[in-house]
Chains A and B, each alone.
Chain A
């Protein structure tokens, strides 16, 4: 491996741990970011000349820690100077000073001799819980997690979420300010808060994954930023792998990893070469990644063996049934429906009810499926959810009511905001003779 490839490699695998180690001793996320960046820049300059260190992570952590110490000492000298100047009646702008005791304590913690042994996993876990603290707004949690755990730059995160860099930067600044203002500490939460806090971490990863996974159902060539968004799904899988390892006693962490692996395995089949999104039934299953499915199934088995089921494990079990079916026709729908019943019991949301309706139609027939859809159709949460009329259109077509299906397809087309699904809906409409063939837009 060339030195620069080694640095890149270390960046992907070690960024979070290097950052976490400095946050642990300074409690200062900004200083930690600056120091971690400095450490990687130093690596780029010196690894070519001196060779790649035996333990790159430890080397980078030490370099970052020393940089942080330098910065703190320099700030202290400057603060002393400006204080002296202030006494003489001059005004010098510079960072304000923290009490000496705080400085002493922080500097001692960063010093070579006092440095507690590396605890990379502990640092990562603390960092993750901090970034996903429920006292932060959800968008801030997602952004902060990406920035802190994967080392993505603010510009990269902004591109992936299709927002201007300034907006994303504001989000990060606000989240960090709130960490300081509310006294969020860099720690693993106390036992009483552990379940809720773990859910928050898993929810952030799921949001992240969905953002990326949705882009796999889009025509990559025609949608701006699609490649960047797709990469988020892979990042989420990597983070879920990390969380499952760091929280071995949490079957839901493994449940989430299994769910992400099983969904991600299908990414390559989610759009056709025409850029039209493909439903599960229409996907070319030869393009599913068998190796990833095998891993997902085994992670799920491990989670289920703990016998503490939760929504992620149940969703993963549903995904597993789809992955196990060689063709759509071989899907065990009775089992899928039974699992949706369990899931709805745990999380009675309208989206779960809608997905359950698909299984109802397969098991009990199209009319029963339509009734199940109608039962949630008026829920305000689904008011502009294009998959609701799209599903009704599908069921109505199968029930031999093409005119009603056309009405639903038009409604879905009014609501849809994804290009891949828009093309799919247009082709359905054309097939029913309800409209001209897909236009160029």
Chain B
């Protein structure tokens, strides 16, 4: 089963203590382990929200905005797509990412098109 790992920076998380970020493992080891094994299939760093470009089509007109749609302090700084047999494995992988220590990871399970809820059978 595939998961999108949204790598978030969370500067206003009250539970974040200085020691947490300091104890984060280096990213190189994570990349080597999971991209090396083929568990992670795609991912990269992203330019900051200030460089975001919004695109909407309204009334037939394409509207382009500079900057992000929402002004939240939390920002997506990168992403990885991982292939894991189950959620617990995905949690383990996410927990080893340095930004789980210095920020937060949001795991978003893939929802493949063409499989409706009734027939997904529960098996990954």
Q: Which residues of A are at the interface with B, using a C-beta cutoff of 8 A? A: 26-29, 95-98, 102, 105-106, 133, 135, 177, 179-185, 187, 189-190, 192-193
B79 to chain A, nearest CB (A): 18
Among the listed stretches B20-28, B47-55, B112-120, which one makes contact with chain A, having 4 or more residues with CB under 8 Å of it? Answer: B112-120
Docked pose: A26 CA to B122 CA in angstroms: 8
Cβ-based interface call for B89 (8 A): yes
Known: A181-B109, A182-B109. A187 touches B88 (CB 8 A): yes
Q: Which of A28, A105, A185 contacts B86 (CB 8 A)?
A: A185
Q: How far is it, in angstroms, between the C-alpha of A298 and the C-alpha of B115 when the chains are bound?
A: 53
Set B89, B109, B117: member contacting A190, Cβ < 8 A: B89
- Are B91 and A183 in contact, CB atoms less than 8 angstroms apart? no
Q: Is the CB of A185 within 8 A of B111?
A: no
| A179 B122 Cβ-Cβ under 8 A | yes
Per-residue contact bits, chain B 86-104, to A (CB 8 Å; 1 contact, 0 not): 1111111001000000000
State the CA gap A136–B118 with chains docked (Å). Answer: 19
Q: Is B11 an interface residue (CB 8 A)?
A: no
A176: shortest Cβ distance to chain B, in Å?
9
Chain B residues with CB under 8 Å of A28's CB are 121-123
Contacts of B90 in A (CB 8 A): 183
Closest chain B CB from A72 CB (angstroms):
10
B92 and A183 within 8 A (CB):
no
**Among the interface residues A97, A102, A183, which one has the most CB atoms of the partner chain B within 10 A?**
A183
Shortest distance from the beta carbon of B19 to any chain A beta carbon, whole Å: 18
B85 at the interface (CB under 8 A from A): yes
Interface centre among B86, B95, B109, B121 (most CB of A within 10 A): B121
Do residues B1 and A183 form an inter-chain contact, with CB atoms below 8 A? yes
Q: Of the candidates B85, B87, B89, B118, which one forms a contact with A182 in the assembled complex, judged by CB atoms under 8 Å apart?
A: B87
Question: Does B57 make an interface contact (CB < 8 A)?
Answer: no
B76 within 8 A of A: no
- Whether A185 contacts B92 by the Cβ 8 Å rule is no
Q: Which residues of A contact B118 (CB under 8 A)?
A: 95-96
**Interface CB pairs A-B, < 8 A, 24:** A26-B123, A28-B122, A28-B123, A96-B115, A98-B123, A102-B121, A102-B123, A105-B123, A106-B123, A135-B87, A180-B117, A180-B122, A183-B1, A183-B84, A183-B124, A185-B86, A185-B87, A185-B124, A187-B86, A190-B88, A190-B89, A190-B92, A192-B92, A193-B92
Interface centre among A96, A105, A177 (most CB of B within 10 A): A96
Q: A27–B120 Cα gap in the complex (Å)?
A: 11
A408 → chain B closest CB, angstroms: 33
Q: Roughly how many angstroms separate A105 CA and B122 CA in the complex, as a whole number? A: 13
Q: Which residues on the A side are within 8 Å of B116 (C-beta)?
A: 96
Given the interface pairs A181-B111, A183-B109, the reply to whether A193 lies near B123 with Cβ below 8 Å is: no
A105, A179, A180, A193: the one within 8 Å of B88 (CB): A193
Closest partner residue, chain A, to B111 (CB atom)? A181
Alpha-carbon distance between A193 and B94 when the two chains are bound, in angstroms: 12
CA distance A28 to B119 in the complex (A): 11
A29 & B119 in contact (Cβ 8 Å cutoff): no
Asked whether A184 and B92 contact (CB < 8 A) given A29-B122, A96-B118, A179-B122, the answer is no
Least CB separation from A180: chain B residue: B122
Nearest-Cβ distance from residue A417 to partner chain B, whole angstroms: 31
B122, A27: Cβ atoms closer than 8 Å:
yes
Contact with A177, one of B86, B107, B117 (Cβ below 8 angstroms): B117
Are B123 and A27 in contact (CB-based, < 8 A)? yes
Instruction: Find out whether the CB atom of B119 lies under 8 angstroms from the CB atom of A97.
Output: yes
Residue of B nearest to A179 (CB): B122
CB distance from A137 to the nearest CB of B (A): 15
Residue of A nearest to B120 (CB): A180
Question: Are A184 and B87 within 8 A (Cβ)?
Answer: yes
Which residue of chain A has the shortest Cβ distance to B95 in the bound complex? A192
**Closest Cβ neighbor of B91 among chain A residues:** A193
Contacts of B92 in A (CB 8 A): 190, 192-193
Least CB distance, B87 to chain A, in whole angstroms: 4
A97 contact set on B, CB distance < 8 A: 119
How many angstroms between the C-alpha atoms of A179 and B124 in the bound complex? Answer: 11
Q: When chains A and B are docked, how far (Å) is the Cα of A172 from the Cα of B122?
A: 15
Cβ distance A31 to chain B, nearest Cβ, rounded Å:
9
Q: Are A185 and B91 in contact (CB under 8 A)?
A: no
Provide the bound-state CA to CA distance between A295 and B1, in Å: 46
CB distance from B120 to the nearest CB of A (A): 6
For residue A193, which residues in chain B have a CB less than 8 angstroms away from its CB? 88, 91-92, 95
